């Protein structure tokens, strides 16, 4: 099979790594890819959002299967266009990707079908939103409706903070058109976890649980990022909780989407709050998590290409997944200054030595090669140093041993990835 993978992050490098071990693969292409992916695939200089450019390449190269990594092309309708060409695609249609593309749509589906989530209300103008905030008079979360690269969520501890959040999103338009509508919801208490299920339109099967570290500094301090590290499995998502999440959240959502005429295929990523009353949905994403995907792919023993293809073709009943029981843990190395302003094109050395350690994979995110052939940083999140070991503590030790072989003065990482699990 000739496969095209769309995207350029650490998530896509780990998908490329997993897919390239499949016996069914004859050739892997990636658009646009990065320096790590380029060791496994032929990279095409086409932006992930250039839908016409991607479709043209699919025809020209005779692609048999398309795997879409990021959400933006899915929300923009890439999977619809590829399906219309008669080619199987991993990733939901635009109508189904609305579960991530519109928080208001997602909340309405959950409410309509009785799926547990925070109590909420939608608003399209600030005055009514503020009236609601005044009446509630308790900590609330204010969210831009549309895609905002993970930044459109403001946790507000007081009425004044919540007013400011409404103004920032709706009046100052801090997230552009994504904030034309907002969702305001109650604060959820508990432990956060990421849950991934494969869906084929009518069925869902559990993949794995993971835990991300969203804040930039050790101890979960500082501003939110795309994710500074992750490990899988997550101990809060034990077999009993997994069964409960499937029964109370994932299966009803897949059934709801089918009933709504928006059958969901691909991976459904539920951001969950596990509290006293059980699991509640914080958000849905229509793609794998980054960096959660990296440890999950390292633990997957089954043929990744077969697995993704079965979801795309509505054949999940044929699939039985096998996992390495050992935990895997990914430490993200980011450019100094991230998630704010950071320097680009700084040189990174020592990645090969880190990669050679037994049980380690270094997945690239924002990397490229300069004219001299040196590895350089081109983004905020740059490397995902991932290790697999018999315990999460050992995986953490090995990941940091690998990190310490990498010489990159302009980069940093958190030093406590996995602290919850290691502490337990």
* Shortest distance (Å) from residue 71 CB to ligand AMP: 11
Sort 325 into a burial class: Cβ within 10 Å, 0-12 / 13-18 / 19+: exposed
99 contacts ligand AMP (rule: CB under 6 A): no
Q: Taking the complex as a whole, how short is the minimal distance between the CB of residue 212 and ligand GLY, in angstroms?
A: 4
Query: Smallest distance from the beta carbon of 224 to ligand AMP, in angstroms?
Result: 6
145 binds ligand GLY (CB under 6 A): no
Dist. CA 227–CA 250, nearest whole Å: 23
Label residues 328-356 b or e (16+ Cβ within 10 Å = b). Answer: bbbbbbbbeebbeebeeebebebbeebbe
Find the shortest distance in angstroms from Cβ 227 to ligand GLY: 3
CA 299 to chain centre: 17
Q: Shortest gap between Cβ of 167 and ligand AMP (angstroms)?
A: 19
Residue 100 touching ligand GLY (CB under 6 A): no
Site residues (CB under 6 A) for ligand GLY, limited to 281-340: 285, 289-290, 292
Q: Which helix (H) or strand (E) holds 84?
A: helix 78-84
Of 70-89, which residues contact ligand AMP (CB under 6 A)? none
Q: Considering beta carbons, is residue 153 or 368 the nearer one to ligand GLY?
A: 153
Q: Does 188 bind ligand AMP (CB under 6 A)?
A: yes
Residue 289 binds: one of ligand GLY, ligand AMP, none (C-beta under 5 to 8 A by kind): ligand GLY
Site for ligand GLY in 206-225 (CB under 6 A): 212
Helical packing angle, 251-259 and 103-112, nearest 10°: 100
Give the one entry of ligand AMP, ligand GLY, none that residue 185 binds, where binding means its C-beta sits below a cut-off of 5 to 8 angstroms depending on kind: ligand AMP
Closest distance between ligand AMP and the C-beta of residue 390, in Å? 29
Query: What residue 206 binds from ligand AMP, ligand GLY, none (CB within 5 to 8 A, per partner kind)?
Result: none
Q: Which is nearer to ligand AMP, 188 or 245 (CB)?
A: 188
Q: Measured at the alpha carbon of residue 106, what is the angle toward residues 321 and 157, in degrees to the nearest 5?
A: 110
Reference 146, options 164, 113, 170, 127; nearest CA is 170
Least distance CB 225 / ligand GLY (angstroms): 9
The site partner of 309 among ligand GLY, ligand AMP, none (C-beta below 5 to 8 Å per kind) is none
| Residue written as token pair 């099979």 | 1
Taking the least distance from each CB to ligand AMP, the nearer of 18 and 421 is 421
Instruction: Indicate which of ligand GLY, ligand AMP, none lies near residue 188 (CB less than 5 to 8 Å, by partner kind).
Output: ligand AMP
Among 125, 160, 171, 187, binds ligand AMP (CB under 6 A): 187
227 binds, among ligand GLY, ligand AMP, none (CB under 5 to 8 A by kind): ligand GLY
32 binds ligand AMP (CB under 6 A): no
Residue with Cβ nearer ligand GLY (36 or 289): 289
Give me 108's structure tokens.
């309405």
Q: Round to the nearest angstrom and report the end-to-end CA distance of the chain.
A: 44
Q: How far apart, in whole angstroms, are the C-alpha atoms of residue 346 and residue 280?
A: 42
Taking the C-alpha atoms of residue 304 and residue 320, their distance in angstroms, rounded to an integer, is 11
Q: Where does residue 357 rank: exposed (0-12), middle (13-18), buried (19+ CB within 10 A)?
A: middle
Segment contacting ligand AMP (CB under 6 A): 67-75, 184-192, 196-204, 354-362? 184-192
- Tell me the C-alpha distance between 347 and 368, whole Å: 10
Comparing CB distances to ligand AMP, the nearer of 30 and 270 is 270
Exposure string of 397-415, with b = 16+ CB inside 10 Å and e = fewer, is ebbbebbebbebebbbbbe
Phi first, then psi: give them for residue 37, nearest 5 degrees. -65, -35
Residue 227 in the binding site for ligand GLY (CB under 6 A): yes
Burial class (CB in 10 A: 0-12, 13-18, 19+), 294: buried
In the bound state, the residue with its beta carbon closest to ligand GLY is 227
Residue 277 lies near ligand AMP (rule: CB under 6 A):
no
**Are the C-beta atoms of 252 and 203 separated by less than 8 Å?**
no
Residues making contact with ligand AMP (CB under 6 A): 118, 141, 150, 153, 155, 185, 187-188, 192, 214, 271, 282-283
Residues making contact with ligand GLY (CB under 6 A): 150, 212, 226-227, 285, 289-290, 292
């Amino acid at each position: 099979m000739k496969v095209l993978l769309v995207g350029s992050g650490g998530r896509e490098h780990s998908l490329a790594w997993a897919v390239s071990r499949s016996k069914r693969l004859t050739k892997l292409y990636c658009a646009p890819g990065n320096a790590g992916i380029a060791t496994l695939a032929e990279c095409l200089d086409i932006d992930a959002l250039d839908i016409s450019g991607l479709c043209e390449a699919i025809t020209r190269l005779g692609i048999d299967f398309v795997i879409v990594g990021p959400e933006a092309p899915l929300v923009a309708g890439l999977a619809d266009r590829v399906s219309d060409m008669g080619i199987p695609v991993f990733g939901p249609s635009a109508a189904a990707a609305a579960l991530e593309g519109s928080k208001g749509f997602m909340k309405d589906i959950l409410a309509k079908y009785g799926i547990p989530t925070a109590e909420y209300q939608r608003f399209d103008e600030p005055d009514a939103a503020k009236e609601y905030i005044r009446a509630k008079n308790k900590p609330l979360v204010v969210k831009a409706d549309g895609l905002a690269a993970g930044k459109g969520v403001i946790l507000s501890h007081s009425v004044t903070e919540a007013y400011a959040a409404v103004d920032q999103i709706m009046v100052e338009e801090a997230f552009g058109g994504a904030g034309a509508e907002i969702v305001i919801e109650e604060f959820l208490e508990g432990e956060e976890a990421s849950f991934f299920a494969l869906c084929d339109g009518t069925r869902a099967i559990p993949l794995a649980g993971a835990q991300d570290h969203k804040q930039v500094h050790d101890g979960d301090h500082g501003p939110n990022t795309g994710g500074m590290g992750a490990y899988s499995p997550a101990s809060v998502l034990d077999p009993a909780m997994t069964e409960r999440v499937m029964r109370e959240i994932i299966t009803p959502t897949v059934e709801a989407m089918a009933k709504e005429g928006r059958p969901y295929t691909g991976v459904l990523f539920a951001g969950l709050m596990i509290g006293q009353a059980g699991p509640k949905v914080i958000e849905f994403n229509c793609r794998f998590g980054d960096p959660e995907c990296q440890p999950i792919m390292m633990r997957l023993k089954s043929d990744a290409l077969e697995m993704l293809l079965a979801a795309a073709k509505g054949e999940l009943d044929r699939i039985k997944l096998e996992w390495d029981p050992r935990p895997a843990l990914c430490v993200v190395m980011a450019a100094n200054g991230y998630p704010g302003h950071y320097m680009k094109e700084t040189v990174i050395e020592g990645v090969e030595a880190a990669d050679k350690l037994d049980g380690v994979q270094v997945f690239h995110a924002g990397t490229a090669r300069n004219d001299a052939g040196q590895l350089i940083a081109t983004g905020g999140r740059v490397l995902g140093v991932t290790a697999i070991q018999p315990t999460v503590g050992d995986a953490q030790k090995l990941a940091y041993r690998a990190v310490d072989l990498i010489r990159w003065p302009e980069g940093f990482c958190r030093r406590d990835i996995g602290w919850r699990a290691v502490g337990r």
